[in-house]
Amino acid sequence: MSFERVAIIGLGLLGGSIGLAVQDYLPGVATTGYDADPATRARARELGLAGTISDTAAEAVSQSDLVIFCVPVGAMAAAAAEVAGSLRPDALVSDVGSSKESVAKALSDALPGAAIIPAHPVAGTEHSGPDAGFASLFRNRWCIITPPEGADPAKVKALSEFWTALGANVELMTAQHHDLVLAVTSHLPHLIAYTIVGTASDLEGVTQGEVIKYSAGGFRDFTRIAASDPTMWRDVFLTNKDAVLEMLQRFSEDLTALQRAIRVGDGDQLFDHFTRTRAIRRSIIELGQDDARPDFGRSDHGGTEP
């Protein structure tokens, strides 16, 4: 099976990028889009983010065989409730949320009987809104699909082929495992970035102007991550809190060990730790998941994957 009409609910960075990518890489597929914000809908029409921009979510999904929710994970239930009763019987429902167990439950509760296969394209930038989207966002990035038990293999295959056509590398895993992996690779780094930038801005002995003026490369990277959409990340931490708290506890223990090494002057422990983590960075570059250039290859589009 393949999809002929795709509905995109939520026309920010990810939703807009999906619309543009479908037009570029799947030109035979029709797209409809909807966003709860009238101003976003108007801008989406100007930018041509979808073939048709509908004024209601129900209208957007009524003829579509693939419906993708691109709203913050905390808004999934309400967004899905808007289309209940308007879906085609054969429609596949998916999403792009960064936490999967909570999203799967929210969509299943709101759309009983619907075919639901959650997904998470691990791609993004620190920018948000309809103007932030671009067609190549998913090229050579991972899209993790988390089929529930008993999912139709033909629908899983069709969704995988859809994301592959947009340029993504597809991986299948359980929702629980996804949430644990993303807690350490994405959610915890964002939480640390928000904390470090917040700490710097709160220092009484250092002015905010000095923090901005004398920022070294490391701090600049943290500020890029900390500029990500606050609504999205608030919802991510609240909906994936168990995995995030587990990873945060591990991080706290490791940080305490480094703190002790600095206090007692254990240079060997620091050197060994930094050598091991340096190898991780090199492996990420070798896999093509980042760029070794000073600007990280982000001169055109910044990147911070949720």
Q: What is the DSSP string of 39-64?
A: HHHHHHHHHT-SSEE-SSHHHHHTT-
Residue pair 123/141 in contact (Cβ under 8 Å)? The answer is yes
Examine the domain organization and report whether 142 and 189 are in the same domain.
Answer: no
End-of-domain residue from the set 174, 199, 229: 174
pLDDT at 289: 60
Measured distance CA(281)–CA(181) in Å, rounded: 17
Q: Which domain holds residue 112?
A: 5-174
Report the distance separating Cα 280 and Cα 289, nearest Å.
12
Whether residue 161 is found in the same domain as residue 226: no
Residues 29 and 83 in one domain: yes
Specify whether 169 is located in the same domain as 239: no
Rounded to whole angstroms, the Cα distance separating 104 from 122 reads 17
More confident residue, 33 or 240: 33
Tens digit of each residue's pLDDT (9 = 90 or more) over 237-285: 999 999 999 999 999 999 999 999 999 999 999 999 999 888 887 776 7
Average model confidence (pLDDT) for the chain?
89
pLDDT tens for 218-229 read: 787 788 788 888
Is residue 300's pLDDT more than 60? no
Q: Which token pair is 246? A: 């587990």
User: Could you tell me if 223 and 192 are in contact, meaning their C-beta atoms sit under 8 angstroms apart?
Assistant: no
Average of pLDDT values for 144-151?
A: 96
Could you tell me if residue 249 is inside a domain?
yes
Determine the Cα–Cα distance for residues 213 and 224; give it in Å rounded to an integer.
Answer: 15
pLDDT at 138: 96
Point out the domain boundary residue: 131, 147, 174: 174
Q: What angle do CA 166, 172, 177 make, to 5 degrees?
A: 125
Residues 48, 160 within the same domain: yes
Tell me whether residue 294 is in a domain.
no
Task: Report DSSP letters for 195-256, one per residue.
Answer: HHHHHHHH-SSS-HHHHHHT--HHHHHHHHHHTS-HHHHHHHHHHTHHHHHHHHHHHHHHHH
Do the bridges between strand 30-34 and strand 52-53 make them parallel or antiparallel, or are there none, so unpaired?
parallel
Residue 303 lies in a domain: no
- The SS3 call for residue 303 is coil
Q: How many domains does the chain have?
A: 2
Asked if 169 contacts 139 with a C-beta cutoff of 8 angstroms, the reply is: no
Q: 3-class DSSP state for residue 141?
A: coil
Residues 89, 189, single domain; the answer is: no
Same-domain pairing of 181 and 158: no
Q: Are residues 126 and 195 in the same domain?
A: no
Asked whether residue 130 falls in the same domain as residue 205, the answer is no
Are residues 202 and 278 located together in one domain of the fold? yes
Give pLDDT tens digits for 103-142: 999 999 999 999 999 999 999 877 889 999 999 999 999 9
If one counts every other C-beta atom within 10 angstroms of the C-beta of residue 146, the result is 23
Kindly indicate the confidence band of residue 36, based on its pLDDT and cuts at 50, 70 and 90. very high
- Report field, pTM of the whole predicted structure over 0.85: no
The alpha carbons of the chain give a radius of gyration, in whole angstroms, of 21
Alpha-carbon distance 30 to 57, whole Å? 16
**Quick check: 226 and 138 in contact, CB under 8 A?**
no
Q: Is residue 296 included in any domain, yes or no?
A: no
Cα distance between residue 221 and residue 264, in whole Å: 29
In terms of Cβ atoms closer than 10 Å to its own Cβ (0-12, 13-18, 19+), residue 299 is exposed
Residue 296, pLDDT above cutoff 50: no
Specify whether 102 is located in the same domain as 182. no
